[in-house]
Structure 1
Amino acid sequence: MRILWLPLLLGSVWAEEQHFQHFDNLTWDEARQHCQVCYKELTTIASWNVRGVVHNLTSDYWVGLRRSLNGTSPWSSWSNGDPVAFQNWYPGHPVPKEETCSLTPTSTPANVSASTPTTVSASTPMHSTTAPQMNNTVDRCSLLTEMLSCLNMTYSDLRNVTGTTVTTMTTTPHALYTSPSPVNITSNSTQGTCNTKAPEYIEDACVALLRNGMWKEKQCYERLPFICYDERFFGEIHVSNVTDKKANLSWSEGPGNISHYRVEVTEGTNQTFNVTGLVTELGGLTAGTQYNVQVFPVKCDRDLNPQNISFYTPPFSVYNLTVTKVTTRVIELSWSHTGNCTFFLIRVSDETSKQENAQKSKIENLQPGKKYNFTVTAVVNDTESEPNSTAAYTKPSRVLNLTSEDTDFKVINASWTKPDGECSGYLVCLNEDSGCINCSECIHCVGCINCSECASCSECANCSITAEKHKEFTDKTPGKKYFLCAAALTDSNKIAGEMTQIEAYTRPNSVELSLIPFSHYINAHWTLDGGYKDFNVSIIGGNYNKSYITNSTNYNFTELRAAVYYTITVVTLSEKPDLRSDPVNQSVFTKPTSPGPATTIVHNKSAITVTWEVPIESMGFSDITYEVTFESPYWNHRDSINVKQNHVTFTNLSSGVNYNFNVSVVAGDLKSYPSCVSNQTEPDKKIVSFMMMCSSSVPLHCNNFPTRNQTLDKLINHFKSNLSSVYWKLKMINSN
């Protein structure tokens, strides 16, 4: 059996027509029955397939044309019902039922040599008619008419060539033919009737295709090889429910008497098996593998055109899908996979996707603080595995513009602005001794009461979570440095972004200042509630103005002048340079020292001037106050005066009276030891006589010198004790 494929244009649909040469000798009816059972029909011949059908013919073949198939219109339809639109009859065929032929006496039969005619189009087969009269109205031979028509010649052309007159009976065809190859006609001298034997008319004729491609009628009961045709079968295979181990196949039903379907699976796993139905299940498949499937409808032990499909089993799913790194804009994933895989497809929240060859991926350009869903599938030739998914939040961005109002002694007010991206809240911490290294972990402790996770959460006591963009911390220690930490949160406040840290301060308290003055220095000491870094201490007084920084709570101001009024100021300093307490001022005099030696100048009976030297400890300072007191014990006269100069004159004194003068340096409530001096005013002298009478039992006892001297000494002692502050002089005058 020889097969030929030819395209057939039916309307606007192309179909491939296959022709099968069978070399078994069968009658036309047997041949047709075989073709109808195992193919579609005996072959038809048309202009588009004639060259293919007649190619390499080795004998005569039955084709699907029979006179009796068409009833009153012989040769009008093929056995499949198609109209006969093409004819290629052997000369003299088809044979009409009645045929006459006569020539004029001067004409002789021609020797005709013909080759295979070219294809023509014909809508209906030929039948005999009476032709119109030409020239001298003679009957013309229908065979000759056909030959001339094939040669594209007229009777006049034939007459000019042969020099004879030809009379024929014409049959008018209902078809138009293309010209055959030229026919060589030669004349001879024989005259009389036509001696050409006409072909035998067959009542129930079947058409045989000659090896030269022309058609001829034969008895239908003759046994010949035959040509069947079939339209090439085009079906579809559908694959469904494909897993990594099996798949379901379904296909189109083949035409005609299909005994079974042969399924051939190649590439992945070679399998061949027969199925009588239109569905089957493929088992034992390998994940991520290509399978090529052909389903052959089998008809009369002949494989029809196979239905083909290729598909891939999905690869194994990835496993151990893990988020390995998270930043504000990057999330890194890793996973494991076994089996075949072309690449991995990562879908990000159904927004974007990317392909990876390695079992990891770095997803970039994400939005901070946002939740992303990641789906990873293994892909083989656009066939994806079952997805494996995970979700992760990017870390929030750092909060912006974190500031603190450092204006209160016990309150710190923090504020900030929302970071770039998304966040669900804020973690705010105020640590006194450490920074924000571990503050992010406090999100597990804030709000936790008596839970095991809070075993090490004591450091998080100063942390809180808020939805606002500000936070007030109260009851803080004045003058302390704190670390203010704030981080944006996401995932319902479960994930913290990078901490933003600044230094925050409470304003330091003022000191309670105490001063202890000395003549050359002042000791300042103070106490303080709260913290501090340093103190700024300053002193001003007289011509003295200095300032110092100390971190001690006391300070000695040295090299001072005695009896000088000094003002000392103490300011508490914080670690923040421009943050300080209100100043505390206190003034005090240094202790005064005694003036230099005092001297007196007696001017007269009622005036004495007292002078003294400026104390050495107060040299260079002119604004010194001296207190000068005087007293007269005799007269019980006492008074004092304060002066700025180092001398003073006392007037309205009593004459002859001894005055005691005390000069002290006065500084506020302080007074130095006095410098003392005494002197008398000039006396206003008066002589008072005392007479002493002596009686004694001893003769001449009162008159002797020892007795008189003893008496005088007693009197002097009496005056001394009673007249110590006045001028007096006792002298004994001898009356003799």
Structure 2
Amino acid sequence: ADVTEACVKLNWSKPAGNVDIYHVKFGGASIRNKTEGSEVCNLTPGSPYTFFVLSGVEDNSIWSDESNVTTYTRPGKVSHLNVTQNTHSSLLLAWERPAGHTTGFGVTAATDSDRVLFNETVTQEKVNVTSLPPGTKITLNVTALTAGGKLEGETVTVVSYTTPTPVSDLVLRTTSNTLNASWNSANGDTFDVELWLDGELVGPIYSVSTAEKPFVGLKAAANYAVRVSAVTGHLRSLPKEASAFTKLLPPTDARLRSADKHQITFEWSAPENIAKVNYTVRLYSTFWGQDWSHAENETFHTFDGLKSGTNYGFEVRTVANGAESDPAVASNYTVAVKKEISLSMMCSSAQSLLCDKQSTRDSVFNELNTHFRELLGDSVVWKLVKQEN
């Protein structure tokens, strides 16, 4: 018998003798036919039927013994086949049972190269398809079965993907205003790359085909995070994230803001295009052996408890992520409290009248001036003046 989902086509041989008509009985119904064959329709898909055929004469007065055959209609095809819960090695395949009867479902999964990855018969309307390669296009087939799996319905196909495995070895390299991200990936057709700063996405989500993405025009001393997901089909892997600070730029234009006898204030300009950072400031006098360092979050700092008339050196650095920039430097004097000190010198010489010569007096004064310059330099305010008689 030839079968479809709703029909069975019967054929038989004419018996010897005189035959005018055939009587076909099945499932409480019957039909009559004058040819050696009959197509019976409106049957239930996937169901067993036993057909009885009798031959007779025209007036129905004489009928032969019954001949019978048992067969199944072909099962229907499943509907609403869908894929969910995609991972890098499995996916959940589900469908709705067709009308009629089925004894199970044949499920296969294969790659584009027709390599069969999964082949099982199940009785429920879903199956977890496992042991799949990551980042791969998967063709999935479901076929309704009946007659103990011997008779198949029409196969229904759906195409899906396993998710790629996450990328590895994500490395960020930075300058003061650029960042370059690179990574390794065993699978994935493309990559989605996101740049984040302070919990906010910076720019769009970039789709790239190579395992590298540069970013330019960034803020200095900012802690940027990069998230990378491998993409296959419409599916993304779990993201891999790394963060790094862009390099520090030093402050600029360190300068005096104000000074008095015991206090001095320096100010500076923040680097351009920089995220909010802190600073370290230093004030020192090598002459007095003084040295102070402080943390600061403003662009100025006041030092007090200083000595008057002293030249103080000043340094300011940007600080972020435990690193410091090169310094911006300046120096200036506190206001001097001047005090006059008189020095007298006695001159004796074996040469007559040598000490009275102007050249001798000038030479001694110059030597004394040189001595004080070596001793005091520009560390404090001082001036040596020769008094004329």
TM-score strictly above 0.5:
yes
Give the superposition deviation at 1:405: 4.6
Instruction: Indicate the residue corresponding to 2:122 in structure 1.
Output: 466
Correspondences of 1:194-233 after superposition (within 5 Å): none
**Given the alignment of the two structures, is residue 406 of structure 1 paired with residue 50 of structure 2, yes or no?**
no
Counterparts of 2:70 and 2:103, CA distance in 1 = 17
Q: Which amino acid aligns with 1:487?
A: T
Q: Which amino acid aligns with 1:627?
A: T
Higher radius of gyration, 1 or 2: 1
Contact 2:90 / 2:131 at 8 angstroms: preserved in 1?
A: yes
Q: Which amino acid aligns with 1:367?
A: T
Instruction: Indicate the residue corresponding to 1:33 in structure 2.
Output: none
Give the superposition deviation at 1:585: 5.8
User: Quick check: which one's helix share is greater?
Assistant: 1
Q: Which amino acid aligns with 1:329?
A: A
Contact 1:537 / 1:550 at 8 angstroms: preserved in 2?
A: no
* Structure 2 unaligned residues grouped into runs of 5+: none
**Given the alignment of the two structures, is residue 501 of structure 1 paired with residue 157 of structure 2, yes or no?**
yes
Give the superposition deviation at 1:393: 4.2
Give the superposition deviation at 1:488: 1.7
Give the superposition deviation at 1:406: 0.5
Instruction: Indicate the residue corresponding to 1:327 in structure 2.
Output: 4
Q: Tell me the alpha carbon deviations over residues 229-253 of structure 1, each in whole angstroms, 9 at most, x when there is no partner.
A: xxxxxxxxxxxxxxxxxxxxxxxxx
Paired residue for 2:33, among 320, 345, 355? 355
Correspondences of 1:372-411 after superposition (within 5 Å): 393-400=72-79, 402-406=81-85, 410-411=89-90
Q: Tell me the alpha carbon deviations over residues 697-734 of structure 1, each in whole angstroms, 9 at most, x when there is no partner.
A: 9x979979599769947973x65555445126565748
Instruction: Indicate the residue corresponding to 2:317 in structure 1.
Output: 664
**Given the alignment of the two structures, is residue 642 of structure 1 paired with residue 295 of structure 2, yes or no?**
yes
Contact 2:265 / 2:302 at 8 angstroms: preserved in 1?
A: yes
Give the superposition deviation at 1:460: 2.9
Contact 1:344 / 1:376 at 8 angstroms: preserved in 2?
A: no
Counterparts of 1:498 and 1:684, CA distance in 2 = 106
Instruction: Indicate the residue corresponding to 1:625 in structure 2.
Output: 278
Paired residue for 1:492, among 118, 126, 148? 148
SS at match of 2:74: coil
Give the superposition deviation at 1:649: 2.1
SS at match of 2:287: coil
Contact 1:660 / 1:679 at 8 angstroms: preserved in 2?
A: yes
Q: Tell me the alpha carbon deviations over residues 296-333 of structure 1, each in whole angstroms, 9 at most, x when there is no partner.
A: xxxxxxxxxxxxxxxxxxxxxxxxxx84xx43223456
Contact 1:395 / 1:496 at 8 angstroms: preserved in 2?
A: yes
Query: How many matched pairs?
Result: 381
Correspondences of 1:186-197 after superposition (within 5 Å): none
CA change 1:346–1:459 in 2 (3 A) is farther
Contact 1:519 / 1:617 at 8 angstroms: preserved in 2?
A: no
CA change 1:559–1:394 in 2 (3 A) is same
Q: Which amino acid aligns with 1:422?
A: H
Give the superposition deviation at 1:484: 3.6
Q: Which amino acid aligns with 2:284?
A: E
Instruction: Indicate the residue corresponding to 1:277 in structure 2.
Output: none
* Structure 1 unaligned residues grouped into runs of 5+: 1-321, 435-457
Q: Tell me the alpha carbon deviations over residues 331-389 of structure 1, each in whole angstroms, 9 at most, x when there is no partner.
A: 4567999x9999885847686445365x8764432332345567889999689999999
Let me know the Cα RMSD of the aligned residues: 5.1
Q: Tell me the alpha carbon deviations over residues 160-182 of structure 1, each in whole angstroms, 9 at most, x when there is no partner.
A: xxxxxxxxxxxxxxxxxxxxxxx
CA change 1:595–1:532 in 2 (3 A) is same
Counterparts of 1:332 and 1:626, CA distance in 2 = 92
SS at match of 2:176: coil
CA change 1:657–1:433 in 2 (3 A) is farther
SS at match of 2:273: helix
Counterparts of 1:669 and 1:562, CA distance in 2 = 14
Instruction: Indicate the residue corresponding to 1:519 in structure 2.
Output: 176
Contact 2:354 / 2:360 at 8 angstroms: preserved in 1?
A: no
Correspondences of 1:139-538 after superposition (within 5 Å): 323=2, 326-332=3-9, 345=22, 347=24, 352-353=30-31, 355=33, 362-371=39-48, 393-400=72-79, 402-406=81-85, 410-416=89-95, 418-433=97-112, 459-477=115-133, 482-502=138-158, 514-526=171-183, 531=188, 535=192, 537-538=194-195
CA change 1:707–1:384 in 2 (3 A) is farther
Counterparts of 1:676 and 1:733, CA distance in 2 = 36
Give the superposition deviation at 1:611: 1.9
Q: Which amino acid aligns with 2:263?
A: A
Q: Which amino acid aligns with 1:491?
A: A
CA change 1:464–1:419 in 2 (3 A) is same
Paired residue for 1:608, among 247, 259, 264? 264
Instruction: Indicate the residue corresponding to 1:563 in structure 2.
Output: 221
Q: Which amino acid aligns with 1:652?
A: G
Counterparts of 2:198 and 2:285, CA distance in 1 = 38
Counterparts of 2:279 and 2:11, CA distance in 1 = 95
Q: Which amino acid aligns with 2:313?
A: N
Correspondences of 1:666-681 after superposition (within 5 Å): 666-681=319-334
| TM-score, normalised by the number of residues in structure 1 | 0.42
Contact 1:628 / 1:661 at 8 angstroms: preserved in 2?
A: yes
Instruction: Indicate the residue corresponding to 1:595 in structure 2.
Output: 251
How high is the sequence identity, in percent, across the aligned residues? 27
Counterparts of 2:238 and 2:348, CA distance in 1 = 88
Give the superposition deviation at 1:497: 1.6
| TM-score, normalised by the number of residues in structure 2 | 0.71
Greater RCO, CA 8 A, separation 6+: 2
